[in-house]
């Protein structure tokens, strides 16, 4: 039985329904993770959970210790990673409340510690990253979304920006021109670090707002929080179905 790790993003700082909780206070060669890794059961299966931004939500996306997070999950016994991300919608199909299981990504971040292969190395290591998301995990997410009857897209390009500010309307035009369907701030380097650790990784993205310039009004946190309030419960149902399946 595969031991899945769930990385919770904005709105998912705890996994309601998780039982037999055991907090693991792990240190890593890269410092402490965002929060203790929680080991327990969810949907009748063993699971690990980590709040990407800490609990309470306090670490901005550009300051998340992604290397420590992934290392700690691997040390705790994770064999696959399901990541939850709140994103903005660029493509017209990506309205608020819509789910997307991205198949590709473009990294626009800078200055983040983005690899384990750095420092005094015996040899240079390159990992293939042509297809950043694990196909089998993606299909499990897609099947779970379809079974729950939620509105979703079974593919999409995730554009990862630096944050913590939201994008300008002109930047979103550029992202759209580059082929991005959704935009978030936490998809990288998380995905490539999982690849470097040989951890299958897939992402469940919840669109919480139209990207900048896609509506006449400004983007408000009240709008985002309202979508999260409904969408996170749906996301938990999807994750439970993936694990139970």
pLDDT for res 96? 95
The arithmetic mean of pLDDT across residues 79-86, rounded, is 97
Mean pLDDT of 187-213: 97
185 is in an annotated binding site: yes
Domains identified in the chain and CATH numbers: 4-244 (3.40.50.1580)
Rg (CA), the chain: 17
- Residue 209 annotated as lining a ligand binding site: yes
94 labeled part of a ligand binding site: no
Which tens digit of pLDDT belongs to each residue from 144-196?
Answer: 999 999 999 999 999 999 999 999 999 999 999 999 999 999 999 999 999 99
pLDDT at residue 15, as a whole number: 84
**What is the spatial distance between Cα 96 and Cα 14, in angstroms, rounded to a whole number?**
22
53 is in an annotated binding site: yes
* Phi, psi values for residue 148, rounded to 5°: -80, -15
pLDDT of residue 153: 98
| Residue 45 is assigned to a ligand binding site | no
Indicate the pLDDT class of residue 16, thresholds 50, 70 and 90.
confident
Residue 10 counted as an annotated binding residue:
yes
Predicted local distance difference test score (pLDDT) of residue 222? 87
Overall average pLDDT of the 229-238 stretch: 93
Annotated binding-site residue? 68: no
User: Within a 13 Å sphere around the CA of 131, how many CA atoms are in the beta-carbon half?
Assistant: 8
pTM of the model: 0.94
Q: Is 92 annotated as a binding residue?
A: no
CA atoms within 13 A of residue 57's CA, in its CB half-sphere: 8
């Amino acid at each position: 039985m595969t031991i899945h790790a769930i990385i919770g993003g904005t709105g998912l700082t705890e996994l309601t329904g998780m039982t037999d909780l055991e907090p693991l206070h792990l240190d890593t060669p890269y410092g402490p993770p965002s929060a203790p890794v929680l080991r327990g059961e969810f949907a009748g299966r063993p699971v690990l959970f980590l709040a990407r931004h800490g609990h309470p939500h306090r670490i901005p996306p550009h300051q998340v210790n992604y290397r420590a997070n992934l290392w700690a999950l691997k040390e705790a016994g994770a064999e696959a990673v399901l990541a939850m991300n709140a994103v903005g919608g660029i493509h017209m199909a990506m309205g608020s409340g819509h789910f997307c299981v991205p198949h590709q990504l473009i990294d626009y971040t800078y200055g983040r510690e983005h690899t384990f292969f750095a420092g005094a190395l015996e040899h240079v290591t390159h990992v293939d990253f042509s297809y950043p998301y694990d196909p089998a995990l993606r299909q499990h997410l897609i099947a779970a979304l379809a079974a729950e009857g939620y509105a979703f897209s079974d593919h999409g390009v995730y554009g990862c920006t630096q944050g913590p500010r939201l994008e300008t309307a002109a930047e979103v035009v550029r992202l759209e021109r580059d082929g991005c369907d959704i935009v978030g701030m936490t998809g990288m380097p998380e995905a490539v670090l999982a690849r470097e650790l040989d951890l299958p990784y897939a992402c469940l993205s919840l669109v919480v707002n139209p990207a900048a310039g896609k509506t006449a009004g400004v983007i408000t946190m009240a709008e985002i929080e309202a979508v999260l309030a409904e969408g996170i419960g749906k996301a938990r149902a999807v994750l439970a179905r993936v694990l139970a399946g």
